[in-house]
């Protein structure tokens, strides 16, 4: 039964997409249909997960093949779904948070002239995201992978009249494509070495298509490349996959698109650019974990890229004024935590953090959307202040989200972050631990700053009348706030011996990730808590005390301490500027040179020149054709004489 | 006696052209309708081909994969015959041709406004010529059809083209003609060598130009080409095909031809005419000259990869939409050549499917450019802005087609590109270093297509574009007709891959000895 049930999960939102594109023309219908279908998907996902849980542990993997997608030569790639513990938690997150965001959008997007299209895109996104996490092979995963990229493009550029939004949409797609190219190469290499792209063995039409994840040990010792510098195949493949993940999950050096992506509607930022799509890279690494684990070299790169990203983005988040850009850099930073966890071999902890982050970051984005909505499209925090009285629900829920992100006990973020840090300690990744610890201190500080700037002090810009948002928006906020508060329960560490319901998630994921739960480290937890509370308080108090000094065009209170470094942080270490100067600019120059000089004058010049040469020769020959019959007669005679004498000579 | 379906499909358009001669010159509407009926009937008749095509499993182990064969003696004393047949390689190219023809005829309602009757006559003649190239099993017959495609196309550009049409038409004609003259020499050379070689054992042998017979003798060892001769003949064939494809650096006729050609002409040119080159490479270069193909594969692979990247970069730098699409063809056709010279079944079947895809997607892109051109009479991207607001249906279809061209998974372009790349990766002649560069083409395709999309469709509507009407019914029908296979092939390419398997395997088997023996 699970075989066909799991097909319904992505098909329902697909149906919503088709209805919204071809049939529905009315805002209310569109929103309700879209939300209901995603809600339906969520219920089915719950049912499917329960059924999966009812199976014996080693059998918890359902694969359903619809048809052979590509079958030519030696290739046989099925169009098939997979449902196992790892997929199930991803599906629950995508449909659960996705459903809430659909409902929220009913309020947030009300009155937009293209709202039907908005819901169509949102449904398509959920479909593609489900394909991504439910695919039973790399190629289908890639369909979802690029499909969510497309939806991201459509939704960032939803208000395409704005130049900024159009540019950001294209940038997101193109930067992702760079990662995708590496992903493509990885798939080619996987197929070349394993002869398959499916993750696990699967039976199609009586034939077993082998799964490559189960054959990874065969790769050990295999290398390719020139003799003086061979690369292990596992390293090559996993490194390419890592590049793919840096694109989708906005890691250094490809994170530059995510802050710009905030040009899209805020619920989109919550769903795509915080809770689900950007975590796809982490999911993919967890799914292909055997290949990563087979290559210590890549693992080390993964860990350091994660740490570096967490630090770069964490510092950049300190110096943003735009309410959503703070959250965007924060997302990048948190994704860095997850990636670092993967690199350190704590895949279950990475998924744990992915899930809690999906909940509390969605909450924060939706909260910021509520703020933006209630302040009449104000996004600059310098124009806010004192909103806690006007928007109490938003304020309290936001506070829960901020606390969870900062890692305050006992909110969700504390447990998942602690799991990662504890693993770093127990596995001895000390330098990485220090990096991540600093990044978590930064997190607490900028959240304290943001809460202060938005909700404390007095309203700095009197041009609007702030109001609380409607029910469609506040109810999802409250639900998510409850989630952010208690989501840690799903994977509590063993706090005391004999504790019931400890590390549920790690155990649930065991058939996929084969990981033992980490040990709780009370000392580390204590340090982390003191750090989080202290830095959060510091951020809050600095900006609350100096609230009156904050104004548009003025300097940040922290500028006094940091000086020009603040500008560097605001520009996120100028990485984007570097790309503009070192890549985009030269590319245009080369393109123009080739198009305007080299092609028309170089290559075509040669062609036309050759043509002219023959033309010139022909003209020369034509000179001989003077039209005088006597001349022709003479030439003819000479010719005949020559031929005759030649024949005579042979005959002789 | 069996019904000669191939001859029906082949000559129906030409008969339609004859019929059109009886129509008065000025009655445009009538001429269009007759042409449309003829094109649709041709397509419907051709539908019997895939329906009655027997995939290999039913044929048994025999090597014969040519089907619907017809042979009539023509010049028996020279061994020349009127012989037609198709296999899995040509089947879908024939279908592409018959499928695109009605669409092209429909598009003439909006894009051709003078000498309409003559336009349709030439178009139908061109269709017959192109079908002939795909069906011919006799080298002379093939050559005649091959050359005959030039004449109508040259007139289509030279008479109905833009301001610089005469230059473009002449360049198109001379350039491609120069390439095929060498091919004619090679055909004659092959004929003579074959006759002499067989005459040793069978005195008085008259020789043949029958493709199957020559191939059979080559494979059996009765006819052996010396390495140098083989390479020379290969080169002559290859050059003709490379110009037609066009492979970098033989591409410069293409942008000129496209920019000047009327929309309908561009669709045929990009949709089918370029495929003649790719088809020729598979059918003639690989099959007749396996050793030379293997010898040249790495060099050709390099040219193909250069073409992929070069075409994409130059496309990016264009300001004229049509030129952008034209250069994107150079990039895409590079993928096709790369797949063919991977010399394995993945690469070749990927190349065939990508020829279909390119015909659909690029054909649609030219129609799309034509839609705007008919409304505003400019193709400069800078002249447009915010078209998404005023023409939402058009914008949606454009996005779908652009994504198909950029190789988004789930749409047709991705299938072809991926299978080609997999073939090239697996190929001992090419291998991963080629892919490390070729994959850039995938990134660049997204860059130039989205650049076009952003400049033309996104942003505020400018004054000149305000109030442009969305697609009319005819435009909608033509574009939707192209979008449907774009989606279907993306999700279920099996119906294309299936019938071509045995024929591709046949080509690959012919190559196997030279690849194994190196």
Nearest chain A residue to B417 by CA: give it: A184
Average pLDDT for B487-500: 92
Average pLDDT for B84-89: 90
Q: Is the pLDDT of residue B422 over 90?
A: yes
B375 in contact with chain A, both atoms CB, cutoff 8 A: no
* Contact call for B454 and A167, based on CB within 8 A: yes
* Contacts of range A374-379, beta carbons closer than 8 Å, 24 or more positions apart: A374/A466, A374/A467, A374/A468, A374/A469, A375/A464, A375/A466, A376/A464, A378/A461, A378/A464, A379/A322, A379/A323, A379/A324
**Domain check: are A464 and A602 in the same one?**
no
Rg of chain B over all Cα atoms, to the nearest angstrom: 22
* Contact call for A161 and B386, based on CB within 8 A: yes
* Contact call for A72 and B492, based on CB within 8 A: no
- C-alpha A156/C-alpha A30 separation (Å) is 20
A573-609: pLDDT as tens digits: 899 899 999 999 999 999 999 999 998 888 888 888 8
pLDDT of residue A648: 67
Q: Is the pLDDT of residue A632 over 70?
A: no
* Contact call for A611 and B408, based on CB within 8 A: no
Q: Is the pLDDT of residue A535 over 90?
A: yes
The count of structural domains within chain B is: 1
pLDDT of residue A547: 84
Q: Provide, as residue numbers in chain A, all residues whose Cβ is less than 8 Å from the Cβ of B344.
A: 73
Q: Output the furthest CA–CA distance in chain B (Å, rounded).
A: 80
Residue window 386-415, chain B: list those with CB within 8 Å of chain A: 386, 388-389, 403, 408-410, 415
Which candidate from A139, A185, A595 shows the least CB-CB separation from B435?
Answer: A185
A435-464: pLDDT as tens digits: 999 999 999 999 999 999 999 988 888 888
* Contact call for B497 and A604, based on CB within 8 A: no
* Contact call for B458 and A70, based on CB within 8 A: no
Indicate the pLDDT class of residue A638, thresholds 50, 70 and 90.
confident
With beta carbons less than 8 A apart as the criterion, state whether A45 and A133 touch.
Answer: no
A210-222: pLDDT as tens digits: 889 888 887 777 7
* Contact call for B454 and A170, based on CB within 8 A: yes
Q: Provide, as residue numbers in chain B, all residues whose Cβ is less than 8 Å from the Cβ of A592.
A: 317
Nearest chain A residue to B415 by CA: give it: A70
B219's tokens = 């494979």
The count of structural domains within chain A is: 2
Q: Is the pLDDT of residue A513 over 70?
A: yes
Nearest chain B residue to A190 by CA: give it: B422
Residue A244 falls within a domain, yes or no? no
Residue A353 falls within a domain, yes or no? yes
**Domain check: are A544 and A583 in the same one?**
no
* Contact call for B446 and A174, based on CB within 8 A: yes
Q: Is the pLDDT of residue B517 over 80?
A: no
pLDDT of residue A555: 82
B422 in contact with chain A, both atoms CB, cutoff 8 A: yes
With beta carbons less than 8 A apart as the criterion, state whether A333 and A439 touch.
Answer: yes
The C-alpha angle with vertex A143 and arms to A141 and A144, in degrees rounded to 5, equals 65
Cis status, amide bond into A410, omega within 30 of 0: yes
Which candidate from B388, B418, B423 shows the least CB-CB separation from A160?
Answer: B388
Which candidate from B317, B418, B461 shows the least CB-CB separation from A591?
Answer: B317
Indicate the pLDDT class of residue B270, thresholds 50, 70 and 90.
very high
**Domain check: are A507 and A448 in the same one?**
yes
Mutation for testing the A interface, residue in B317, B408, B414, B495 having most A CBs under 10 Å: B317
Better pLDDT: A174 or A562: A174
**Domain check: are A376 and A484 in the same one?**
yes
Mutation for testing the B interface, residue in A149, A176, A184 having most B CBs under 10 Å: A184
* Contact call for A178 and B443, based on CB within 8 A: yes
Q: Is the pLDDT of residue A89 over 90?
A: yes
Q: Provide, as residue numbers in chain B, all residues whose Cβ is less than 8 Å from the Cβ of A72.
A: 345-346, 349-350, 419, 497, 500-501, 504
Q: Provide, as residue numbers in chain B, all residues whose Cβ is less than 8 Å from the Cβ of A67.
A: 492, 494
**Domain check: are A521 and A376 in the same one?**
yes
Per the structure, the complete domain to which residue A623 belongs is given by 576-651
Of the three residues A563, A595, A625, the one that is the final residue of a domain is A563
Nearest chain A residue to B388 by CA: give it: A160
Nearest chain A residue to B508 by CA: give it: A73
A47-71: pLDDT as tens digits: 999 999 998 988 899 999 988 899 8
Q: Name the minimum distance, in Å, from the CA of A185 to any CA of chain B.
A: 7
**Domain check: are A429 and A533 in the same one?**
yes
- C-alpha B456/C-alpha B391 separation (Å) is 11
B350 in contact with chain A, both atoms CB, cutoff 8 A: yes
Q: Provide, as residue numbers in chain B, all residues whose Cβ is less than 8 Å from the Cβ of A188.
A: 421-422, 425, 432, 435
Residue A127 falls within a domain, yes or no? no
Q: Check residue A574 and give left, alpha or beta (phi > 0: left; psi -120 to 50: alpha).
A: left
Q: Name the minimum distance, in Å, from the CA of B8 to any CA of chain A.
A: 31
Indicate the pLDDT class of residue B243, thresholds 50, 70 and 90.
very high
What residues are paired with A197 via a beta bridge?
Answer: none
**Domain check: are A477 and A357 in the same one?**
yes
Which backbone phi and psi does B408 adopt, to 5 degrees?
Answer: -80, 130
Residue A287 falls within a domain, yes or no? no
The count of residues in chain A is 652
* Contact call for B432 and A185, based on CB within 8 A: yes
Average pLDDT for A167-192: 94
Percent of chain B with pLDDT over 90: 69
Average pLDDT for A477-492: 92
Residue window 255-314, chain B: list those with CB within 8 Å of chain A: 310, 313-314
Q: Provide, as residue numbers in chain B, all residues whose Cβ is less than 8 Å from the Cβ of A612.
A: none
Q: Is the pLDDT of residue A652 over 70?
A: no
pLDDT of residue A624: 65
* Contact call for B345 and A166, based on CB within 8 A: no
pLDDT of residue A119: 95
CB neighbour burial string for A70-86, b if at least 16 within 10 angstroms, e if fewer? bbbbebbbbbbbbbbbb
pLDDT of residue A139: 94
Q: Is the pLDDT of residue B281 over 60?
A: yes
* Contact call for A591 and B422, based on CB within 8 A: no
**Domain check: are A364 and A445 in the same one?**
yes
* Contact call for A74 and B501, based on CB within 8 A: no
Q: How far apart are the first and last CA of chain B?
A: 47
What residues are paired with A161 via a beta bridge?
Answer: none
Residue window 449-478, chain B: list those with CB within 8 Å of chain A: 450-451, 453-454, 457-461
* Contact call for A169 and B458, based on CB within 8 A: yes
B27-82: pLDDT as tens digits: 888 999 999 999 999 999 999 999 888 876 555 544 457 888 888 888 888 888 89
ipTM: 0.93
Give, to the nearest 10 degrees, the angle between helix A471-486 and helix A392-406: 30
Neighbours of A465 (CB within 10 A): 10
**Domain check: are A624 and A582 in the same one?**
yes
Residue A532 falls within a domain, yes or no? yes
Q: Is the pLDDT of residue A278 over 60?
A: yes
Q: How many CB pairs under 8 A join A and B?
A: 149
Q: Is the pLDDT of residue A530 over 60?
A: yes
Of the three residues A563, A598, A633, the one that is the final residue of a domain is A563
- C-alpha A590/C-alpha A585 separation (Å) is 9
pLDDT of residue A631: 66
Which candidate from A142, A143, A188 shows the least CB-CB separation from B421?
Answer: A188
| Chain CA centroid to CA A459, Å | 35
Q: Whole-number mean pLDDT of chain B? A: 91
Q: Provide, as residue numbers in chain B, all residues whose Cβ is less than 8 Å from the Cβ of A139.
A: 409, 418
pLDDT of residue B93: 95
Q: Name the minimum distance, in Å, from the CA of B189 to any CA of chain A.
A: 24
- C-alpha distance from residue A462 to each of A48, A449, A451, A469 (Å): 52, 21, 19, 19
The C-alpha angle with vertex A251 and arms to A249 and A253, in degrees rounded to 5, equals 135
A486's tokens = 């208690």
Residue A510 falls within a domain, yes or no? yes
Indicate the pLDDT class of residue A626, thresholds 50, 70 and 90.
low
B428 in contact with chain A, both atoms CB, cutoff 8 A: no
* Contact call for A73 and B459, based on CB within 8 A: no
A409-434: pLDDT as tens digits: 889 999 999 999 999 999 999 999 99
* Contact call for B317 and A611, based on CB within 8 A: no
* Contact call for B317 and A604, based on CB within 8 A: no
A375-388: pLDDT as tens digits: 998 899 999 988 98
**Domain check: are A593 and A496 in the same one?**
no
Average pLDDT for B7-17: 94
Q: Provide, as residue numbers in chain B, all residues whose Cβ is less than 8 Å from the Cβ of A187.
A: 418
Q: Name the minimum distance, in Å, from the CA of A543 to any CA of chain B.
A: 38
**Domain check: are A612 and A467 in the same one?**
no
Q: Is the pLDDT of residue A374 over 80?
A: yes
**Domain check: are A504 and A595 in the same one?**
no
With beta carbons less than 8 A apart as the criterion, state whether A476 and A101 touch.
Answer: yes
Residue A580 falls within a domain, yes or no? yes
Q: Name the minimum distance, in Å, from the CA of B387 to any CA of chain A.
A: 10
- C-alpha A472/C-alpha A105 separation (Å) is 8
Q: Provide, as residue numbers in chain A, all residues whose Cβ is less than 8 Å from the Cβ of B258.
A: none
Q: Provide, as residue numbers in chain B, all residues whose Cβ is less than 8 Å from the Cβ of A169.
A: 454, 458
Residue A235 falls within a domain, yes or no? no
Neighbours of A538 (CB within 10 A): 15
Instruction: Identify the weakest region by mean pLDDT among A202-206, B20-24, B286-290.
Output: A202-206
């Amino acid at each position: 039964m699970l075989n066909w049930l799991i097909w319904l999960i992505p098909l329902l939102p697909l149906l919503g997409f088709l209805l919204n594109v071809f049939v529905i023309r009315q805002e209310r219908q569109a929103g309700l249909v879209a939300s209901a279908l995603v809600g339906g998907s969520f219920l089915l996902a719950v049912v499917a997960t329960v059924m999966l849980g009812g199976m014996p542990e080693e059998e918890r993997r359902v694969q359903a093949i619809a048809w052979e997608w590509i079958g030519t030569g030696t290739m046989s790639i099925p169009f098939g779904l997979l449902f196992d513990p790892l997929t199930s938690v991803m599906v629950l997150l995508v449909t659960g948070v996705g459903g809430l965001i659909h409902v929220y959008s009913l309020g947030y997007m009300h009155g937009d002239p293209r709202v039907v299209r908005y819901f169509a895109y949102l449904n398509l996104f959920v479909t593609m995201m489900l394909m991504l996490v439910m695919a039973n092979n790399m190629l289908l995963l890639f369909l979802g992978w690029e499909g969510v990229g497309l939806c991201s493009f459509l939704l960032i550029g939803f208000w395409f009249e704005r130049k900024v939004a159009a540019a950001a949409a294209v940038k997101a797609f193109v930067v992702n494509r760079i990662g995708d190219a590496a992903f493509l190469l990885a798939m080619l290499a996987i197929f070349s070495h394993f002869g398959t792209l499916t993750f696990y063995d699967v039976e199609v039409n009586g034939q077993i298509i082998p799964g490559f994840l189960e054959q990874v040990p065969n790769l050990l010792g295999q290398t390719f490349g020139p003799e003086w510098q061979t690369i292990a195949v596992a390293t090559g493949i996993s490194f390419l996959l890592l590049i793919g993940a840096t694109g989708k999950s906005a890691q250094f050096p490809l994170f530059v698109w995510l802050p710009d992506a905030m040009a899209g509607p805020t619920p989109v930022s919550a769903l795509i650019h915080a809770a689900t799509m950007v975590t796809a890279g982490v999911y993919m690494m967890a799914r292909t974990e055997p290949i990563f684990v087979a290559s210590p070299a890549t693992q080390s790169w993964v860990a350091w890229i994660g740490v570096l990203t967490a630090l770069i983005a964490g510092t950049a988040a300190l110096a943003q004024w735009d309410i959503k850009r703070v959250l965007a850099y924060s997302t990048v930073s948190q994704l860095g935590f997850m990636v670092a966890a993967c690199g350190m071999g704590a895949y279950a902890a990475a998924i744990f953090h992915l899930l809690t982050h999906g909940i509390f970051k969605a909450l924060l984005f939706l909260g910021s959307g509520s703020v933006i909505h209630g302040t009449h499209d104000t996004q600059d925090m310098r124009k806010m202040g004192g909103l806690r009285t006007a928007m109490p629900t938003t304020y309290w829920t936001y506070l829960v989200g901020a606390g969870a992100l900062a890692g305050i006990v006992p909110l969700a973020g504390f447990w998942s972050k602690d799991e990662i840090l504890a693993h770093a300690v127990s596995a001895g990744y000390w330098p990485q631990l220090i990096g991540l610890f600093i990044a978590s201190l930064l997190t607490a500080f900028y959240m304290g700053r943001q809460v202060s700037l938005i909700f404390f002090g007095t309203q700095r810009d009197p041009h609007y009348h702030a109001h609380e948002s409607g029910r469609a928006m506040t109810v999802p906020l409250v639900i998510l706030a409850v989630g952010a508060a208690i989501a840690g329960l799903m994977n509590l560490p063993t706090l005391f011996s004999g504790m019931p319901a400890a590390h549920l998630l790690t155990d649930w994921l065991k058939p996929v990730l084969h990981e033992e739960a980490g040990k709780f480290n009370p000392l580390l937890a204590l340090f982390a808590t003191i750090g989080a509370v202290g830095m959060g308080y510091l951020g809050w108090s600095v900006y609350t005390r100096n609230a009156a000094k904050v104004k548009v065009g003025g300097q940040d209170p922290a500028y006094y301490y940091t000086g020009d470094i603040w500008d560097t942080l605001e520009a996120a270490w100028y990485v984007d500027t570097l790309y503009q100067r070192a890549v985009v600019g030269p590319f245009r120059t080369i393109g123009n040179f080739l198009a305007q000089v080299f092609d028309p004058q170089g290559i075509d010049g040669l062609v036309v020149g050759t043509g002219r040469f023959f033309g010139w020769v022909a003209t020369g020959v034509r000179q001989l054709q003077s039209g005088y019959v006597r001349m022709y007669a003479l030439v003819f005679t000479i010719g005949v004489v020559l031929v005759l004498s030649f024949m005579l000579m042979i005959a002789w | 006696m069996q019904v000669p379906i191939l001859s029906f499909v082949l000559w129906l358009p030409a008969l339609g052209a004859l019929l059109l001669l009886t129509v008065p010159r000025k009655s445009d509407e009538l001429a269009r309708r007759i042409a449309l009926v003829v094109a649709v009937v041709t397509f419907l008749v051709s539908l019997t081909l895939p329906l009655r095509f027997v995939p290999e499993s039913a044929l048994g182990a025999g090597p014969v994969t040519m089907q619907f064969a017809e042979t009539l003696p023509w010049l028996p004393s020279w061994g020349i015959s009127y012989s037609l047949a198709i296999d899995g390689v040509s089947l879908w190219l024939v279908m592409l041709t018959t499928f695109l023809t009605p669409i092209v005829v429909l598009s003439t309602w909006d894009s051709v406004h003078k000498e309409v009757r003559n336009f349709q006559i030439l178009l139908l003649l061109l269709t017959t010529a192109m079908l002939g190239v795909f069906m011919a099993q006799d080298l002379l017959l093939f050559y005649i059809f091959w050359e005959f495609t030039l004449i109508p196309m040259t007139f289509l550009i030279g008479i109905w083209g833009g301001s610089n049409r005469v230059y473009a038409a002449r360049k198109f004609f001379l350039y491609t003609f120069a390439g095929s003259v060498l091919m004619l020499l090679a055909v004659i050379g092959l004929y003579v060598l074959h006759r002499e070689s067989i005459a040793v054992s069978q005195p008085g042998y008259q020789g043949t130009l029958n493709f199957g017979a020559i191939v059979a003798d080559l494979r059996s060892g009765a006819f052996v080409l010396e390495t140098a001769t083989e390479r020379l003949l290969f080169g002559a064939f290859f050059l003709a095909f490379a110009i037609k494809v066009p492979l970098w650096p033989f591409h410069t006729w293409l942008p000129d031809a496209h920019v000047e050609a009327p929309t309908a002409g561009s669709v045929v040119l990009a949709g089918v005419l370029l495929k003649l080159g790719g088809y020729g490479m598979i059918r003639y270069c690989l099959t007749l000259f396996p050793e030379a193909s293997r010898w040249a594969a790495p060099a050709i692979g390099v040219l193909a990869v250069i073409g992929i990247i070069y075409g994409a970069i130059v496309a990016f730098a264009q300001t004229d939409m049509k030129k952008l699409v034209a250069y994107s063809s150079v990039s895409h056709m590079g993928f096709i050549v790369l797949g063919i010279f991977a010399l394995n079944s993945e690469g070749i079947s990927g190349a065939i499917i990508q020829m279909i895809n390119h015909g659909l997607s690029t054909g649609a892109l030219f129609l799309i450019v034509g839609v705007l051109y008919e409304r505003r009479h400019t193709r400069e991207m800078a002249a447009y802005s915010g078209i998404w607001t005023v023409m939402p249906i058009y914008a949606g279809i454009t996005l779908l087609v652009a994504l198909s061209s950029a190789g988004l998974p789930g749409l047709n372009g991705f299938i072809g590109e991926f299978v080609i790349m997999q073939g090239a990766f697996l190929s001992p002649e090419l291998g991963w270093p080629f892919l490390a560069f070729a994959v850039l083409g995938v990134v660049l395709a997204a860059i130039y297509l989205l650049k076009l999309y952003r400049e033309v469709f996104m942003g505020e509507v400018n004054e000149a574009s305000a109030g442009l009407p969305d697609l009319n019914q005819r435009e909608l029908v033509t574009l939707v007709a192209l979008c449907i296979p774009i989606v279907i092939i993306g999700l279920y390419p099996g119906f294309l891959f299936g019938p071509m398997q045995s024929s591709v395997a046949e080509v690959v088997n012919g190559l196997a000895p030279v690849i194994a023996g190196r």
